[in-house]
Amino acid sequence: MALLNKLVKFGIYAAVFLGALLCSLYLTSKWIIQSEEEVLVPNLVGHDTVYSLDLLTSLGLNIKVGGFMWSETVPKNFIGSQEPVSGTWLKRDRDVKVVISRGSRRVRVPNLVGTRMREAKLVLSQNGLHLGGICRIPSSQYPRDTIITQRPEALQEIGRGELVDFLISDGPKSFAVAMPELRQRTMGQALRILDGLGLVAPAVKEIHQPGQPLNTIIGQNPLAGYRADGDSAIILTVNRVPQPKGPQAKFWWITYQMEPGYFKKEVALSRNQAGEDVLSYSKIHRPGDRLDWLVWAQTPEEVIVLVDGMVQRLKAGNLDWGDMLTFHYISSGDEPAILPREE
């Protein structure tokens, strides 16, 4: 009986102690929670995301992106709304949910006149626009695949995702001339005559015919007086003594397209001869100019094009080696001058 009483008393004391411990823990945790420091949520609407992130971090709060919105008044990448709203007291290390503006649904149409189609497609994509209808017409003013005009016109406001139509140059209109007499002329003289008529660069066939003047043209196709279209293939036969095998110099037709912009730039062309760079051409040009040179070199790697002193690498839109035409060397005394042609 005495043992039972002792066990009962022990159980009562244990229950009282456990209750007191739980009550103490509850009051302590409640006091800790109530004693957490609260901060006033600032106004983030109309501010950019970087500023908002820095501000909330300094206050001990977190930023959480809750979505995106289109807005005619809130610029792109600025805060359009927030939750909780400014003026709310919030404990530290809590989240402030924000909605970020994508900007206006309407954009200004970029000016793409004078640019190539591959560049125009990239600019349209960057502005959230799409390529519309394309119409081609011959043009001697604009190089092939260059935009002549556009609809809607530049700087007009249209909705994102709308189409932009283009009128594109198909290059110079085909024409026909009477083939000039090129026999008994040097290769350099013939190239100047053909270039002046707008005819394509010729293919050169070399033979050795004793009794005929060396390094002159002794045959041509088409013959003098026959019809030659602007894109007709022309073959010139040159009387030349066979040369020993080895790397021979050639004529290289090099094209360079100036990038669009607002400022004129100095364009220079030099050739590497015997380990030294020899300046062959230097002139100030406008943005969008197209330049063509007929250059004498063993390989195109000997030719260097510089724009404001910066070497232009082989890349799309600048130096297009695939469009070059080659000519066999005729005579060291027959090397033509560089022939730049500006469109």
Distance CA 13, CA 11 (A): 5
- How many structural domains comprise the chain? 4
User: Domain for residue 31, yes or no?
Assistant: no
pTM: 0.36
Domain for residue 231, yes or no?
yes
Exposed/middle/buried for residue 339 (C-beta within 10 Å: 0-12, 13-18, 19+): middle
Range of the domain at 115: 106-169
Query: 18-27, 30-39, 161-170: which has the highest mean pLDDT?
Result: 161-170
**How many residues does this entry show for the chain?**
343
Residues of the chain with pLDDT > 90: what percent?
28
pLDDT at 332: 32
* Other Cβ atoms closer than 10 A to 300: 15
- CA 115 to CA 66: how far, in whole Å? 40
Based on the fold, state whether residues 90 and 119 are members of the same structural domain: no
pLDDT digits (tens, 9 = 90+) for 168-213: 998 877 778 899 999 999 888 898 898 888 787 888 898 988 888 8
CA distance 115 to 96: 46
Q: Is 279 left (phi over 0), alpha (psi -120 to 50) or beta?
A: beta
The reported pLDDT for the residue numbered 185 is 92
Give pLDDT tens digits for 44-73. Answer: 999 998 999 899 999 999 999 999 988 888
Q: Which residues pair with 221 in a beta bridge?
A: 235
Residue at a domain's end among 139, 169, 199: 169
Domain end: 192, 212, 242, which one? Answer: 242
Residues 190 and 265 in one domain: no
Q: Provide the mean pLDDT of the chain.
A: 79
pLDDT tens digits for 91-133? 899 999 999 998 888 888 999 999 998 899 999 988 889 999 9
Q: Does residue 21 fall inside a structural domain? A: no
Q: Is 100 exposed, middle or buried (0-12, 13-18, 19+ CB in 10 A)?
A: buried
